[in-house]
Amino acid sequence: MNADRYVRQMTFKEIGIRGQRKLAHASVVIIGVGALGSHAADLAVRAGIGKVRLVDDDVVEIDNLQRQTLFDEEDARLARPKVLAAARRLREVNSGVEIEPVVGRAVPTNILDLIQGANVVLDCTDRFSARYLINDACFKEGIPWVYTGVVASYGMSATLAPGETPCLRCILGDPPEDSSMDTAATAGIIAPAVSVMAALSVAEAMKLIIGTGQRNPGLLYVDVWNNAWERIELPPRRPDCPVCQGKYEFLEK
């Protein structure tokens, strides 16, 4: 660990040298390397998290560049896979971090392997079907994860830890159809909303790894255009929740 590189971060008393060492030995998996994922990966790598695994099957397109900070016009012209373009840029940012790009989508047959060894999983997807899969896998393996979604000018985030908090299915019930939800294609999206939500997500990951700080105790809603911040209290774990009863239906689909 290059202490000079992180001196300002270690000066923050909640992290210090012990916290920085914990970050250096930690592993984070980022599922989805679009708007949220590119911001989150950049922050995680600059913070010195020791290993960052990137998972996505998409390629860079010109309309990504308005909000997806790791990519450039050459990436879009060549339609580079996002995880490969991101890894190339991130290695230039911090050569002391191990970057593992995985070109592919998280699915029931591979997600347990993808999250193996992770201290934290960051949901940077744009589909509830993917989030419920992440929820099943993380609660099965006992790995905390941070749910984050953003569209238009607003986003939501919750930190979900097996044995401590309810799971996503406890909170939201059965998943909505992906086609019924607003997306960047239908409602638009602005980069400042992405930046805020990604920053909150990585801050939660750092707190989980280091073990200090006040973690988000609820479902946080932020609208940067209307300057609205609201924290919604999480419900208790549902006694009839399949996930909390050890039934991982989305891992079987």
Residue 85 lies in a domain: yes
Domain of 136?
7-251
- Work out the average pLDDT over 55-70: 97
Q: Name the packing angle between helices 35-47 and 191-210 (round to 10°).
A: 40
In the numeric block, which tokens belong to residue 211? 């073990």
pLDDT at 179 over 80: no
Task: Tell the burial category of 134 from Cβ atoms under 10 Å away from its Cβ (0-12, 13-18, 19+).
Answer: buried
* Residue pointed to by tokens 């986003």: 155
From its phi and psi, is residue 104 left (phi > 0), alpha (psi between -120 and 50) or beta? Answer: left
Residue 230 lies in a domain: yes
Rounded to whole angstroms, the Cα distance separating 31 from 124 reads 6
pLDDT at 85 over 90: yes
25-39, 150-164, 165-179, 221-235, range with the lowest pLDDT: 165-179
Residue 2 lies in a domain: no
pLDDT band per the 50, 70, 90 thresholds, residue 23:
very high
In the numeric block, which tokens belong to residue 14? 């909640």
Q: What is the pLDDT of residue 71?
A: 98
Rounded to whole angstroms, the Cα distance separating 45 from 26 reads 11
Q: What is the pLDDT of residue 174?
A: 87
Domain with 85 in it: what CATH number? 3.40.50.720
Q: Please report, rounded to a whole number, the percentage of residues in the chain having pLDDT higher than 70.
A: 100
Rounded to whole angstroms, the Cα distance separating 149 from 155 reads 5
pLDDT band per the 50, 70, 90 thresholds, residue 213:
very high
Residue 164 lies in a domain: yes
Q: What is the pLDDT of residue 183?
A: 84
pLDDT at 184 over 90: no
pTM reported for the whole predicted model? 0.96
Domain count across the chain = 1
pLDDT band per the 50, 70, 90 thresholds, residue 133:
very high
Q: CA–CA distance from 137 to each of 133, 163, 213, 242 (Å)?
A: 6, 14, 26, 13
14-18, 45-49, 112-116, 170-174, range with the lowest pLDDT: 170-174
The count of other CB atoms within 10 Å of the CB of residue 229 is 10
32-48: pLDDT as tens digits = 999 999 999 999 999 99
Q: What is the pLDDT of residue 20?
A: 98
Q: How would you write 119-144 as a 3-class SS string? A: CEEEECCCCHHHHHHHHHHHHHHCCC
- Work out the average pLDDT over 151-163: 97
Q: What is the pLDDT of residue 2?
A: 84
